[in-house]
C-alpha cells in the first residue's frame, strides 16, 4: 500500500476560483520528507502552467494519479486533449475521472471515456461522484460491464457507513484500487481521521475483511473550507491522516 497526497488538499481555491494558490513544485521536498509516496495532482495546478509541470517532472517525485475534471461531453474535446498531453508528459500512472449527469448523453460519455483511455498509458480510475450518472452501484455496474478490468478501476470514499463500503467490495472487488481519505463530523466539517476513530476503524475492518491491497490518497483533511484555513495547517493535518492510515493498515 502506498499513500499519496492529493494536491487539492492544500489548495484553498479548490471550489472557488480554481486558480492555484500555491506551486506544487515548491512543496515537493516537504511532501517527500513527510513520507508521502507520490502525488495525486489537481489538474489546475499544471494545466495552464507548463513550466510548473516541467518542474514537477524534473523533481523526480511521481505524479501517480492525475485528476481530470472534464465530464466527457463532445464539447470538451479540447480540454481532454490538453489533459492527455499533460498525462503523457508527466508519466502519470492513473487518471481520476467522472462523467456528467445527463442520461441522454450516457453513450457519448462512454465513447469519449474509451477514446481518452486509448490515448494514455495509464489506468482509468472512476471516482463515481455524487451527482453523476455513476453515483449508484447499479450505474457503475452497467457502465463498467464491458470495460477492461485491467484498464478501468474504481476509487472509493471509504469512511462513511461500513455497510456501504462492504457492498462496494461485494460488487466490485478487485476493481477497487484507491481510497480517497476524508471524513466529516456531525456538523459536516471535514476532520482528521482520528477524530472519527470508531467509524473509521469500522471501515478499516471492512477493508481488512476483503483483503484490500490498494492505495490511499489523502484528499481532504481537517480545516478544509473552514474560515482561516491555511496551507501549513492543512499540510500538518494531512500528515496526521497519512500516519493514521499507516498505523491502521500497514
Angle formed by the axes of helices 24-34 and 50-59, to 10°?
A: 20
If one counts the domains in the chain, the total is 1
**To 10 degrees, the CA torsion angle through 187, 193, 196, 199?**
120
Give pLDDT, residue 250.
Answer: 76
Q: Is 124 helix (H, G, I), strand (E, B) or coil?
A: strand
Cα distance between residue 53 and residue 121, in whole Å: 18
Q: Is-contact 66 35, C-beta < 8 A?
A: no
Q: Which helix (H) or strand (E) holds 95?
A: strand 94-97
Q: Which residues contact 24 (CB under 8 A, 6 or more apart)?
A: 7, 39, 41, 45, 46, 52, 56
Rg over alpha carbons for the chain, rounded to the nearest Å, is 17
For residue 14, give the CATH number of its domain: 3.20.20.150
Phi, psi of 182 (to 5 degrees): -165, 150
Q: Is 188 helix (H, G, I), strand (E, B) or coil?
A: coil
Cα–Cα nearest to 224, from 22, 13, 26: 13
* Per-residue pLDDT tens digits of the chain, which is 250 residues long: 999 999 999 999 999 899 999 999 999 999 999 999 999 999 999 999 999 999 999 999 999 999 999 999 999 999 999 999 999 999 999 999 999 999 999 999 999 999 999 999 999 999 999 999 999 999 999 999 999 999 999 999 999 999 999 999 999 999 999 999 999 999 999 999 999 999 999 999 999 999 999 999 999 999 999 999 999 999 999 999 999 999 998 7
Length of the chain: 250
pTM: predicted TM-score of the whole model, two decimal places = 0.96
Cα–Cα nearest to 64, from 106, 125, 128: 125
Cα distance between residue 180 and residue 158, in whole Å: 7
Give pLDDT, residue 217.
Answer: 98
User: Which domain covers residue 187, as residue numbers?
Assistant: 3-249
Amino acid at each position: 500500500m502506498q499513500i499519496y497526497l492529493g494536491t487539492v488538499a492544500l489548495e484553498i481555491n479548490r471550489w472557488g476560483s480554481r486558480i492555484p494558490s500555491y506551486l506544487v513544485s515548491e512543496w515537493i521536498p516537504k511532501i517527500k520528507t513527510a513520507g508521502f509516496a507520490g502525488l495525486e495532482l489537481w489538474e489546475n495546478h499544471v494545466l495552464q502552467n507548463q513550466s510548473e509541470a516541467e518542474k514537477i517532472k524534473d523533481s523526480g517525485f511521481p505524479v501517480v494519479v492525475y485528476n481530470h475534471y472534464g465530464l466527457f461531453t463532445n464539447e470538451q474535446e479540447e480540454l481532454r486533449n490538453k489533459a492527455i498531453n499533460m498525462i503523457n508528459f508527466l508519466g502519470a500512472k492513473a487518471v481520476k475521472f467522472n462523467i456528467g449527469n445527463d442520461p441522454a448523453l450516457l453513450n457519448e460519455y462512454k465513447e469519449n471515456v474509451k477514446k481518452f483511455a486509448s490515448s494514455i498509458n495509464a489506468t482509468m480510475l472512476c471516482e463515481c461522484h455524487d451527482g453523476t450518472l455513476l453515483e449508484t452501484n447499479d450505474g457503475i455496474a452497467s457502465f463498467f460491464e464491458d470495460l477492461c478490468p485491467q484498464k478501468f478501476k474504481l476509487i472509493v470514499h471509504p469512511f462513511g457507513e461500513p455497510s456501504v463500503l462492504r457492498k462496494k467490495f461485494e460488487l466490485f472487488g478487485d476493481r477497487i484500487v484507491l481510497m480517497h481519505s476524508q471524513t466529516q463530523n456531525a456538523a459536516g466539517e471535514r476532520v482528521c481521521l482520528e477524530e472519527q476513530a470508531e467509524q473509521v476503524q469500522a471501515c478499516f475492518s471492512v477493508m481488512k475483511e476483503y483483503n484490500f491491497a490498494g492505495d490511499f490518497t489523502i484528499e481532504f483533511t481537517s480545516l478544509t473550507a473552514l474560515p482561516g484555513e491555511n496551507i501549513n495547517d492543512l499540510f500538518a493535518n494531512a500528515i496526521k491522516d497519512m500516519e493514521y492510515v499507516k498505523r491502521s493498515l500497514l
